[in-house]
Amino acid sequence: MTPPGGTITIAGRTVSRLGLGTMRLAGRDSWHMPADRVGPSMVLLEAVRVHGITHIDTADAYGPHTVEELIHDCLASARLDTELLIATKVGMVRPGPNMWAPLGRPAYLRAAVEGSLRRLGVDQLDLCYLHRNDPEVPFLDQVGALAELRSEGKIAHIGLSKVGPAEIDRATEVIPVAAVQNKLSLEVQDDISTVEHCRKLGIPFVAYSPLGTGVLAERGEAGKALRWLLDLGPHVIPMPGTSNPRHLSELVDSLAAG
């Protein structure tokens, strides 16, 4: 099976360049879990088994917590015979539906990683991002907390989300940055400078919301949008998300069609 968009090496794994974001699997406002788990479950299973997507991205804040549990329930057996990369993120709390707040205290980050390990059913997180830089906590204290967990073997690789070149450079003083994940699409192109900075440093750049939260797909421009991202450089990884198996098939087909 030819992986969608080809392959890329990230966090020590060679995976599909087209990833799957899972925020939508928690339903409206990414809060709790839909009463009907069939659609979200099929999205995960078909992504891996049918479409050859081997890079799955999640966060403890999705649900919160419920999407990590769903991934474990659906993909635990798939991980035994497929080289999957399951990336998660910590450092964001959910006070309520459609509410998000950064929380980067080192003790909290440690507790969050332990929770993700338990929910995903693993002894080590493949790739763990700092979900957001908490302005109330020194940035390198947050990065350092994840570095300690990496030295303990609980995290294999560390990534950063929603950061610019200056934060990337500061973090590289403490850790090898395995990936940077920022919002980028044909609709939102504010982060092109960070894409170039990551290219110079040899850091994979993961583009979340690559379809402009669905706007570009509704216009019939999904293939164009995904191809535009891939053409920015071999280090760029589009990370679209959906909770509908049919929509997932349409995305993969649109990329193949160019």
Residue 62 annotated in active site:
yes
Tallying the residues shown for the chain, one arrives at 258
- pLDDT given for residue 191 in this prediction: 87
Distance (Å) of CA 140 to CA 78, 164, 174, 203, 211: 36, 14, 8, 19, 32
Could you tell me where the beta strands, DSSP code E, fall in the chain?
7-10, 13-16, 20-21, 55-57, 85-90, 92-93, 101-102, 127-130, 158-161, 177-183, 205-208, 236-239
CATH topology of domain 7-257: TIM Barrel (3.20.20)
Mean pLDDT to the nearest integer, 48-63: 97
CA 49 to centroid of chain Cα atoms: 19
Residue 65 has pLDDT above 90, yes or no: yes
Is the predicted pLDDT of residue 258 greater than 70, yes or no? Answer: no
Provide the pairing of β-strand 20-21 with 92-93. Answer: unpaired
Instruction: State residue 162's pLDDT score.
Output: 97
How much is the average pLDDT of 9-37? 91
What pLDDT score does 2 carry? Answer: 83
Shortest CA distance to 69 belongs to which of 32, 94, 105, 106? Answer: 32
Q: What is the pTM for the complete model shown?
A: 0.96
- The pLDDT-based confidence of 29 (bands split at 50, 70, 90) is confident
The yes-or-no verdict on residue 34 having pLDDT over 80 is: no
Given a cut of 80, whether residue 251 has pLDDT beyond it is yes
Cα–Cα–Cα angle for 131, 209, 156, rounded to 5 degrees: 40
Report the percent of the chain where pLDDT is more than 90: 84
CA distance linking residue 31 with residue 25, whole number of Å: 9
Report yes or no: 31 and 97 within 8 Å, Cβ to Cβ: yes
Amino acid (one-letter) located at 163: V
pLDDT band at 82 (very low <50, low <70, confident <90, very high): confident
Residue 205 has pLDDT above 70, yes or no: yes
Q: Which residue has the tokens 């908490």?
A: 134
What is the pLDDT averaged over residues 204-231? 92
The answer, yes or no, to whether residue 113 has pLDDT greater than 90, is: yes
**Torsions phi, psi for 107 (to 5 deg):** -65, -35
Q: Check whether the bond before 64 is cis (ω within 30° of 0).
A: yes
Mean pLDDT across the chain, nearest whole number?
A: 95
Q: How far apart are CA 105 and CA 72, in angstroms?
A: 27
With a cut of 80, say whether residue 1 has pLDDT above it.
no
- 190 pLDDT tier (thresholds 50, 70, 90): confident
User: Is the predicted pLDDT of residue 114 greater than 80, yes or no?
Assistant: yes
